[in-house]
Structure formats: C-alpha cells, structure tokens
Structure 1
Amino acid sequence: MGIDYYGILQIPKHSNDLDIKKAYRNLALEFNKGLLENKEAQQVFTLIGEAYDVLSCPQKRAIFDQYGEEGLKRGIPTVDKYIPAYHYHGDPMITYKDFFGTTSPYADLLDFLKNPPLLYKMADGNQCIRKKQEPIKHPLQLTLHEIFFGGVKKMKIQRLAFTNAEKSCTEIKEKILNISIKPGIRPNTEIIFPEEGDQNPAQIPADVIFITEDRPHETFVRDGDNLIIEVDVTLEEALLGTTVTVNTIDHRTIRIPITDVVYPGYEKIVEGEGMVILEQYPNKGDLIIRFNINFPTYLPKNSKDVLRKGFHLARLGGGAGQHEVINKLVLADKILRVDPDERLPPM
C-alpha cells in the first residue's frame, strides 16, 4: 500500500487548494523547528514536503487520486501520450523556501495567505501559481568614450507580447529599451529592466538584465578609475628626456614633458587625466604612462666613448645627476661635430 499524502497533511480528500496550503504551513513550521532535535522530525518533514509537492499540483493530485502513490511514481500510459513517473527531489527545504520565500523556521507564515502569489486559471478550470521566469542576461559592450561621457544607449529586443485584452494570445514584437549610462560606470554593472521578457499567461515575464563590459580601446587601457597608455621611446629619449603627446578621450591634446631617466618599469603619472569617477563626477582618476624603450641596433665607437666617459664621470660624482652629465657630454660632442663653416660667429 502506497503513501497517503492526505493523511500526511491531516486533511480530507475533498480539501481545496487553500486547505492544502494551510495544512502544509502549520506542519512545516512545527517540524522545521524540530529538525535539530531528532532524525524522525527530518523524515516527517521530508514526507510533508513531498505531500505538498504532489497535492498542490492539479495534475499530480489527479493522478494520485486515481492511481495512488504507486501509480504516480510508476508513470501512467494514456491513449495520446505517456505521463512520466513522478520523483520528489528529496530536499524539503527547497519546497519550504518556495512556499515561504525563506528557509527560516520563524518567518511570518501568515504573510503567504495575506499576500498570496498570482494564480493562473488553466483550461481545465484548475489554478496554478504564476512563477516568474528566470532573468535574461545580455552583455553590453561600452566604448571608453561612452563610459567617459555617459548618456543613453538604445537596444532593440524581441519578445512575445500579448495581442488581446484577455491576455491569451501572443506574437513576437520588437521593443526599444533606453539604457541610461552613468559617466564612469564600472564593468559588470547590472542594468535591470523588470519584466521585459516574454509575456505568458501562465508565467510572470522575466527581468531583462544588461551586464556592462569595457570594449577594448586602440590607445588606452582602463584600470579602475585610471587610464593606462604605452609609449615607445628611443634610448636617447629615455636618457635625455622627451615630450609625450596624448590625445585624450575628451578630445584634448596634452603634452607631458618627461625629464626623468626612463628605466624599465618607470611610470609617469599625470593626475586628473584618467577616467571619470562614478561617485565623484566630474572628478577623474589618473593617466599612467608606461614606456617601451627601443634600443639602437648599432652605436659608433665615438658615441660609445662619449657615453663611457659620461657614465665614468657620473660614478666619480657619486651617481648624483648622472643623466645631466651625460646630457652635457652628448651636447658637447654634437657641437664639436658641426662643420666650422656652419658655426655661429663668436659674440
């Protein structure tokens, strides 16, 4: 003889949907609080969850009423199709959470009756709970220009929408969603459009969620609120200094003098020239300049002698101002290489 689900919930066979919910509510609260006390309570709690899972579904309940627990779990062949066997998932806390919205045994259980879920009336006259569909997530790639200035981005979606007042027929329609982009918006930000998914009389439409991503830029790489740029310099520029010209995202041209010796790993930080800070608009992060040093493939002996002399003098001076000494020596060497006829007359 199979399990009597009505007996487990302690209700008569003619009980309506609300009677089933009341019975499950009272028993689930009682045995959930006693789970930590004994194993028998855990077994009973699992049977209570299974009984509610069957009797709260009109189709499962109808099969159970006609064929009992054994027929329900064996599967029923019909003229048109085969009704597959029923198997309870075995975790009563899942059933409990679906019912109360929480796993706490001290939840406000009466709230379920005061604010019942939306019901859908099926063709056979029975009712089932309208559950919300799983959210639909889309990546949203943004250029650094769009992130810097912000604005509104329009996205076209297709979804099933009701075509009649009775909300029984649907067809595919297009809709334009206006996505508000805040200046400085960060990657992996979720922008949610509630219930913009497919409309269905038996389900609540899903939320449509756009998740932001930074699109690669040809010049800059974003690092939090900072912008990173890589610049190629020659060995001469690395030692003697240079000026880096940067075309910013907001259409300005800035020139940054590099007076330090550029060594591997050296970075030049320009404050306030990075990405807009989301929480501190219009303040901006920093611009970080990194350098790739291109070494010459050949140096004449005279050039090597000049550099060797410069490094030697710098070492004699304790290393202080090394690059300045080299600058002066290279400049002197260049002057000496000028043709005497091209030199300026003495003052």
Structure 2
Amino acid sequence: MGKDYYDVLGITKSATVDDIKKAYRKQALRYHPDKNKSPEAEDKFKEIAEAYDILSDPKKKDVYDRFGEEGLKGGGGPTGAGAGGPGTFNYTFQGDPHAVFAEFFGGRNPFDQLFGNRGTSLTKRQDPPVVHDLQVTLEEVFSGCVKKMKISHQRLNPDRRSWRTQDKILEVEIKKGWKEGTKITFPKEGDETPTNIPADVVFVLKDKPHPVFRRDGADIIYPAKVSLRDALCGCTVRAPTLDGRTVTLTTSDIVRPGMKRRITGEGLPLAKSPGRRGDLVVEFEVKFPESLSSHDKLLSL
C-alpha cells in the first residue's frame, strides 16, 4: 500500500487545498525539532514535509491519488501512452524539511509570534546599523553616478539554524548635487543569525579632496593666485569648471587678499532642484614678493 500521506497530515482524501495547508501548519509546528524534543520528532517532521510536498502539488497529488506511493515513485501502476499511469514519474523527496518549513512561513520564525508569550522563544531585535564612509569626487556629485560596493554578510541556510558567508554587490546611486553627509540605507543587509534581525547597511557620503576646488554647499571655490602687480593694476582670471570648460573673469578693481567674485550658475546642481546650480566662487590669493627693488617700489606708489 505504501505511505498514507493523508493520514500523515491527519486529513482525508476530500481535503481542500486550504485544508492541506492548515494540516501541514499544525503538524509541522507540532513536530518541529526546535519545539518537539522527542527522539522521533526529526523523522516525523521530514515525513510531514514530504506529505505536504506531494499533496500540495496538483500533478503529484493526482498520480498519488490514483496509483499510491508506488505509482508516484515509479514502482507500479500502468505506464505508456494512453495508460493514464504515472508515466515518467519517479518521485523521491530530496528536499530539506526545514527549507519547506521556512518557505511555508515566508522565512519567518513562527515561534516568535505563536509561542513567544509562552516563554519558548526570545523576541528578535535588529542589530545597530553598519556604517561605511563612501568617498565621492566633485565630478561624480556634479554628474551623478552609480557606485558598486561589494560587501560580505552572513545569511541563514534553509534550516534557519546554520549560516554561510555570502558576497553581494550593492549599487549605490549618487544623485546630482548630494551633500556630504547624505546617507543611503540598504535595509537588513547586515549579518543574519537565528537570533537577530539583520542590521541595515548605511553608506555616508564623504567629499574626496579635490586638487583644484573646495566645496561650500552647492558652490565651488576656486583659489585664483594673482601677483601683487596684477592685484594693484587689475587682472583677468581664467577659471576652470567641473565639466571641463574655462570661464573668464576680469576685474579692474584693486584685489585684496581674500576678495571673492561669483560666476553665477557654474557650481554644483542643487540637490532638491537639479536643474539649478550653485556658483563658481573665485577666491583671490595675492602672491606677495619676498622683496621689492627700488624701481618696483616706485611703481607701487
């Protein structure tokens, strides 16, 4: 006769799909090794998973209902074209009963909710965030980009008791104009164990030092060095931009150290309005000579 999978789940052949699910839920929770410490619990738990695997699958269930366990496993029943038998069926339960259990409950540990108030399990808490600095160039902030960051984290195996180390690539989208300190969060990408909720992984934007510019919000500061003669007589500065162009700024005023001139709209995009931009601020640095000749002193009067 073989196994009676309906009897394993405690139902009859007239059971509906919902009846089969309810029966598996009841029996799996009853015999789960984490709850049931009897010597036969592990074998019974596997048998329940096998019964559910067969009866919840319409094709397997149809063959089992007509030809029993032997027909399902290729050991009996008529075969061949038109015979209506199991045909190519040669079923053997290869699954992990803990994986079936985890899939049925959506990866959750039902004991936390169903039995937590009886003192049989602990409430899981989420680990603190795992924070990484992410350095970006001003050019990347100017244009926007996607940074691919490789992380390694622990993930539970299907039995929900052991775990493995797994590498993963997280794609961090850097939007135009984002400020230093902006946080990008990837929920629950930290280490996973049977007793915790994985931490969030958080990347915090940090400006990478630039060889030419400094940043002030959406403004870009360009230090322009001018000679003392040019500072006194007027000068023209050719200032670079982040997109590779050059803009010209001419002043006839006396340039004092630290004096600034703005070139509107040549800075970084505004984070909340990427169509608008900050300014390119030319900050003058006057190069004073170490000494002056008499002739130069007369020219400076």
TM-score (norm 2): 0.58
Aligned positions of 1:200-215 closer than 5 A = 200-215=193-208
For residues 126-145 of structure 1, the C-alpha deviation after alignment (integer angstroms, 9 at most, x for no partner) is 21112111111111111111
Corresponding residue to 2:232 among 234, 239, 242:
239
Q: In structure 2, do the counterparts of structure 1 residues 207 and 118 end up closer, same or farther at CA, with 3 Å as the change threshold? A: farther
Q: Does 1:141 align with 2:138?
A: no
Equivalent residue for 2:274, pick from 277, 281, 305: 281
Superposed counterparts of 1:84-163, under 5 Å:
118-119=112-113, 126-163=120-157
Percentage of identical aligned residues: 37
Higher relative contact order (CA 8 A, sep 6+): 2
Alignment of 1:319-338 (within 5 A): none
- Tell which structure's C-alpha radius of gyration is larger: 1
1:170 pairs with 2:158:
no
| Distance in 2, Cα, partners of 1:288 & 1:138 | 31
Q: Which secondary structure does the structure 1 equivalent of 2:190 belong to?
A: coil
Amino acid at match of 1:142: V
Larger helix fraction of residues: 1
Q: CA deviation at 1:305?
A: 3.3
Deviation at 1:257, TM superposition (A): 1.7
Query: Partner residue of 2:215?
Result: 222
Conserved? CA contact 1:221–1:228, under 8 Å? yes
Match of 1:294 among 287, 293, 298: 287
* Cα gap change, 1:170 to 1:120, in 2 (>3 Å): farther
Is contact 1:119–1:130 with CA below 8 Å preserved after alignment?
A: no
Call closer, same or farther: CA 1:117–1:246 in 2, change over 3 Å.
Answer: farther
CA-CA distance at 1:117 after TM superposition: 10
Deviation at 1:265, TM superposition (A): 2.8
C-alpha spacing 1:119/1:160, structure 2 compared with 1 (3 Å): farther
Map of 1:263 onto structure 2: 256
Structure 1: runs of 5+ lacking an equivalent? 1-115, 309-347
Match of 1:49 in 2: none
Shift in CA distance, 306/235, structure 1 to aligned 2, threshold 3 Å: closer
Determine if the alignment matches structure 1 residue 250 to structure 2 residue 238: no
- Trace 1:177-216 onto structure 2 (pairs within 5 A): 177-216=170-209
SS of 2:141's equivalent in the other structure is helix
C-alpha separation in 2, matches of 1:229 and 1:160: 46
- Structure 2's unaligned 5+ residue stretches are 1-109
Instruction: Write the letter of the residue equivalent to 1:179.
Output: V
Q: Please state how far the C-alpha of 1:185 moved relative to its aligned partner.
A: 0.5
Q: CA-to-partner distance for each residue in 1:197-244, whole Å, 9 max, x for gaps? A: 111122111111111111111111101111111121111111122221
Q: Please report how far the alpha carbon of residue 302 of structure 1 lies from its aligned counterpart in structure 2 after TM superposition.
A: 3.9
Q: Which residue of 1 aligns with 2:42?
A: none
